[in-house]
Amino acid sequence: YKAVGVDPKIMGIGPAYAIPEVLSLSNLSVEDIDLIELNEAFASQTIASIKEVGLDISRTNVNGGAIALGHPLGATGAMLT
């Protein structure tokens, strides 16, 4: 688990900063992860994080991610519990 904050001007790319930190804390690399789920409400957020971290797009959001689930903005807590 890792919480990060980013400048509000670039809201939505928190995963790009959290992923490397949580991997480091876990002594893992991206290659150790089979599938990656980025629970973001907008495709642009997911694309930015994929590019920034260097994720393999074929292993990321393979079932469509939050957009496919009909994720309304701000509903992550309700969706995951």
pLDDT tens-digit readout, 31-76: 999 999 988 878 898 999 999 999 999 999 998 887 777 766 666 6
Q: Highest mean pLDDT: which of 24-28, 61-65, 76-80?
A: 24-28
- CA dist 54 and 49 (Å) reads 8
Look at 74 and 7; give whichever has higher pLDDT.
7
Calculate mean pLDDT across residues 19-23. 95
Q: Helices 14-25 and 43-53 sit at what angle, rounded to 10 degrees?
A: 40
Ordered by where they begin, the domains of the chain are 8-80 (3.40.47.10)
